[in-house]
Structures are given as structure tokens and as C-alpha cells.
């Protein structure tokens, strides 16, 4: 389970690629560094990242303000080892041999930062578990 560089790759997908998947991608990049290739996309991408998600991640010291929602492509799924969906239902293409996880998370759309904080923290815990599974730290 790895690309040509030997790194596992993960694709986070939600409908608008404006909240949950952006936060998950940022957490994975922040926590795993260059041990994992990270992508995120949306089945119906929004025009910008949710300001409450940006604010909640900033509180955790992670800047996602420059991120832009991206459309989900078949290639993005094909090139990923693990595809994590967050409420996009059947709109995610399925390929044999890929691992699919469905994280049932509340949608932060239209909510303030107070409501987004617990979603952010739940995503961090899920990402930490995923890292332990696919890219654990090498122990000396």
C-alpha cells in the first residue's frame, strides 16, 4: 500500500471539500509530515473553505486559509491507497483493491467555530488512528 516513493496515499472526500476533508487533510499533513501523501476533494466542491473550519484549525496552529476546494476525480481515487469519505454517499468512485473508510462526522457547513471545534478534534483522533495503521513512526 504505497506509491512509487514508498509512501501510502490518502484521499479525503466530502461533498464540498470545504470543511471536514480539508481539516482531515491538514491534520494528516501536520501529524504525519512527509510519511504520507495527502489529497482531498469534493463531489460538489464549494467556492471556498469554510471560515469556521479555517478558524478552528488556526486555533490548533494549522493554517488552511490558502486551501481551495477541489473536484473529486476518478484519477484522485485511483492514485490513492486509502479513500476516506465523509458524507458523500455513493458519489465516490469505487476501485477494487482500494481501502475505503467512511467517517460519519457532523457537517460543519453554516456553523460557527464553537460547533466546528468538536468536529476538528474528532477528525484529529481519527487521523491519529489512521497514521498508526498506515504509517507508524519507525522505532529505533
pLDDT tens, residue by residue, 22-44:
999 999 999 999 999 999 999 89
Query: Domain segments of the chain: what residues?
Result: 9-134
φ, ψ (nearest 5 deg) of residue 110? 75, 5
Contact 86, 12 (CB under 8 A): yes
Owner of C-alpha cell 467555530:
113
Looking at residue 98, its pLDDT comes to 87
φ, ψ (nearest 5 deg) of residue 71? -80, 140
Looking at residue 96, its pLDDT comes to 81
Q: Which of 88, 116, 119, 123 is catalytic?
A: 88
Q: Enter the pTM of the model.
A: 0.92
Q: Is 14 an annotated catalytic residue?
A: yes
From the candidate CATH numbers 3.40.50.620, 3.50.50.60, 3.20.20.140, 3.40.50.2300, the one assigned to the domain spanning 9-134 = 3.40.50.2300
In this predicted structure, the answer to whether residue 2 has a pLDDT above a threshold of 60 is: no
The pLDDT-based confidence of 138 (bands split at 50, 70, 90) is low
The pLDDT-based confidence of 3 (bands split at 50, 70, 90) is very low
Q: List the one residue out of 24, 30, 47, 19 whose CA is nearest residue 115.
A: 19
Q: List the one residue out of 26, 31, 41 whose CA is nearest residue 120.
A: 26
Cα separation, 86 vs 50, in Å, equals 15
Looking at residue 118, its pLDDT comes to 98
pLDDT tens, residue by residue, 76-123:
989 999 999 997 666 667 778 889 999 999 999 999 999 999 999 999
User: Which value, to the nearest 10 degrees, does the dihedral of the CA atoms of residues 96, 103, 54, 137 take?
Assistant: -70
Q: Is 83 an annotated catalytic residue?
A: no
Q: Which of 14, 52, 76, 127 is catalytic?
A: 14
Amino acid at each position: 500500500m504505497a506509491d512509487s516513493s514508498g509512501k501510502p496515499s490518502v484521499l479525503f472526500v466530502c461533498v464540498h471539500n470545504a470543511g471536514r476533508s480539508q481539516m482531515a487533510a491538514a491534520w494528516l499533513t501536520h501529524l504525519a509530515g512527509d510519511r504520507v501523501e495527502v489529497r482531498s476533494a469534493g463531489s460538489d466542491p464549494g467556492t471556498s473553505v469554510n471560515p469556521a473550519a479555517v478558524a478552528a484549525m488556526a486555533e490548533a496552529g494549522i493554517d488552511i486559509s490558502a486551501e481551495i476546494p477541489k473536484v473529486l476525480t476518478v484519477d484522485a481515487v485511483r492514485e490513492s491507497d486509502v479513500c476516506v469519505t465523509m458524507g458523500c454517499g455513493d458519489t465516490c468512485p469505487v476501485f477494487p483493491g482500494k481501502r475505503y473508510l467512511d467517517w460519519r462526522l457532523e457537517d460543519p457547513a453554516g456553523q460557527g467555530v464553537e460547533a466546528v471545534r468538536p468536529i476538528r478534534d474528532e477528525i484529529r483522533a481519527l487521523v491519529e488512528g489512521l497514521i498508526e495503521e498506515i504509517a507508524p513512526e519507525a522505532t529505533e
